[in-house]
Structure 1
Amino acid sequence: MFMAATDFCIRDYRTADADITLTIFQRAVREVASQNYTPAELEAWAGHIDRHVWANSLERQFTWVAMQESLPAGFASLTEGGHLDMLFVSPDHQRCGVASALLMTAEQAVRQRGMNRMTTEASLTALPFFEAQGFEIVKAQAIERRGQVLRNYRMEKALHEARDAR
């Protein structure tokens, strides 16, 4: 699936994308989320990730990669049940519309599967983005990971039928 935006496109995930998506994830967490989480929390979140477990997880989901020419700009993954598991944008491509385009792609996939609701778990850093995209907080959470407690929000969004742009 391709979706043109200003200067990037969204394409389906490929097995060879495991390393680039892991790098985007780790850089986004360590560089962008550092404004809301401590160094120990960031390391618990993004450190010590088994590449094979990572790759298997993305291959079992619906996953897309945003590309700017030949450079990966971000990625998103969606479970069969309409849960947006991951949405991360490279620190080099923040605030360029990449996250919005990836989210739109995921929402379209949810609608195509006949579902009218999408869920996610948003970090403190991502919360404003998801609220601006129409997600509502279901509950605040404290997730324990590698001895650290990470705060985030369970969120959901009601999806309406996409309208023809005629």
Structure 2
Amino acid sequence: MAQAFPKPGLRPFLPADVPVLAAIFAASIEELTGDDYSEAQQQAWMAAAESEEFGKRLAADLTLIATLEGSPVGFASLRGTDHIRMLYVHPAVVGQGIATILLDALEKLAGGRGATSLTVDASDTAESFFAKRGYTAKQRNTVTINGEWLANTTMQKTLGAAQ
């Protein structure tokens, strides 16, 4: 008999989650973004998880944790009512719908908070994921992280009544 994938769960962020979320953040960047960013860019980006600011950003936003069998495997954060600040999934579970579950939840929460649209500054790696879910590119950006220039794209989705 075939084994079914365990059903993902969602829960709110807790301060004790910072170390495991930092590990998910780093693993995601290291293993998934190599086709779009140089090793120096990846290292600069990953270093953001080593600062105290990483946990402060997670706590300041509405951050959701995706779990499988109780263990965190991804996270996403909503800044204010209408901006997705972070969406990261551990490489071991890519393709299992974790990012979609997180994004769907953020869209519902944003709509419940009165947002009519959502924006995200999507990495070049994540741009196609957001495009497949109805986000359209608005502008290209270049940001400096720890001395390295990284490109991303501001994308937007209008939230409909079905949210």
Q: C-alpha separation between the residues in 2 aligned to 1:108 and 1:48?
A: 28
Aligned to 1:107: 107
Q: C-alpha separation between the residues in 2 aligned to 1:49 and 1:69?
A: 25
Q: Does 1:31 align with 2:31?
A: yes
Aligned to 1:21: 21
- Paired residues for 1:35-114 under 5 Å: 35-47=35-47, 49-114=49-114
Q: C-alpha separation between the residues in 2 aligned to 1:47 and 1:66?
A: 23
Aligned to 1:117: 117
Q: Is the CA contact (8 Å cut-off) linking 1:19 and 1:51 kept in structure 2?
A: no
Q: What secondary structure is seen at the aligned counterpart in 1 of 2:125?
A: coil
**RMSD value, Cα:** 1.5
Give the superposition deviation at 1:69.
0.2
Give the superposition deviation at 1:147.
2.2
Q: C-alpha separation between the residues in 2 aligned to 1:102 and 1:146?
A: 28
Rate the CA distance shift 1:7–1:39 in 2: closer, same or farther, 3 A: same
Aligned to 2:12: 12
Q: C-alpha separation between the residues in 2 aligned to 1:50 and 1:92?
A: 22
Work out the percentage of aligned pairs sharing the same amino acid. Answer: 30
In the alignment, residue 104 of structure 1 is paired with which amino acid? D
Q: C-alpha separation between the residues in 1 aligned to 2:150 and 2:158?
A: 26
The alignment's TM-score, normalised by the length of structure 2, stands at 0.92
Any runs of at least 4 consecutive aligned residues in structure 1 with deviations exceeding 6 A, and if so which? none
Residue-by-residue CA offset, 1:63-87 (whole Å, 9 max, x unaligned): 0000000321100000113100000
Q: Is the CA contact (8 Å cut-off) linking 2:22 and 2:50 kept in structure 1?
A: no
Q: What secondary structure is seen at the aligned counterpart in 2 of 1:11?
A: strand
In the alignment, residue 155 of structure 1 is paired with which amino acid? M
The alignment's TM-score, normalised by the length of structure 1, stands at 0.91
Aligned to 1:139: 139
Gaps of 5+ in 1: none
Residue-by-residue CA offset, 1:68-127 (whole Å, 9 max, x unaligned): 003211000001131000000001110110000000010011001111110001011001
Give the superposition deviation at 1:49.
3.6
Q: What secondary structure is seen at the aligned counterpart in 2 of 1:34?
A: coil
Q: C-alpha separation between the residues in 1 aligned to 2:105 and 2:116?
A: 14
Q: Which moved more, 1:6-15 or 1:93-102?
A: 6-15
Gaps of 5+ in 2: none
Would you say how many aligned residue pairs link Structure 1 and Structure 2? Answer: 159
